[in-house]
A and B are shown apart, each in its own frame.
Chain A
Amino acid sequence: DAGVIQSPRHEVTEMGQEVTLRCKPISGHDYLFWYRQTMMRGLELLIYFNNNVPIDDSGMPEDRFSAKMPNASFSTLKIQPSEPRDSAVYFCASTLRDRVYNEQFFGPGTRLTVL
């Protein structure tokens, strides 16, 4: 398996522009997570899905952020309009939950810079 795939790996944009980050989870995994990592705030969970349904979006900072999972193999995180404080590394992760917790596998991340 190729692991969790994210694109783009790097994104540089100007304030006010729309940004779309993409994620393909590991095949067969039923949970997908979006995290944001910054020096100041560490690793924060933004939202997670179970079987394509959003379960907890309490970490989404504001209405400028939205996430979708139209099918089991694809998810997007959109920021519109983007602001300089959105600059961070965004990770997608996936896991398969049976009766116990299992490892969350992280993608390589997208480094977002908003100028």
Chain B
Amino acid sequence: GENVEQHPSTLSVQEGDSAVIKCTYSDSASNYFPWYKQELGKRPQLIIDIRSNVGEKKDQRIAVTLNKTAKHFSLHITETQPEDSAVYFCAAPQGGSEKLVFGKGTKLTVNP
């Protein structure tokens, strides 16, 4: 089955700096890679996703890159703000099913 590894587990940056979170996956058939943000005490919410027919997708300060050959994808947040502080999860589908396998999460802290 799909195995998703996420690094780092914690990340602390200064406001205005960039943050990068990386994930690797094992199932070469996977073709959809979402990123979820979970604020403390709240539910996970989708912030961006990428499908395997593109290598990069950007939405304002957030971007995701995908390298299918290496089976890894990354989340990039530029000009970080304190409200970006949260836990971020990557995910990938298992075996073409609707089942998403989530990484263990990265706790991002943006210091003012």
Contacts and interface: CB of A to CB of B under 8 A. Distances in A.
B89 A43 contact: yes
A74 to B, nearest CB: 19
B97 A43 contact: no
B87 to A, nearest CB: 10
Contacts of A55: 97-98
B43 A107 contact: yes
A103 B34 contact: yes
A44 B102 CA distance: 7
A109 interface: yes
Binding site secondary structure of chain A: strand
A56 B98 CA distance: 10
Interface in B41-82: 42-46, 49, 51
A103 B44 contact: no
Interface stretch (A18-26, A61-69, A94-102): A94-102
Interface of A: 31, 33, 42-45, 48, 50, 55-56, 91, 95, 97, 100-101, 103-104, 106-109
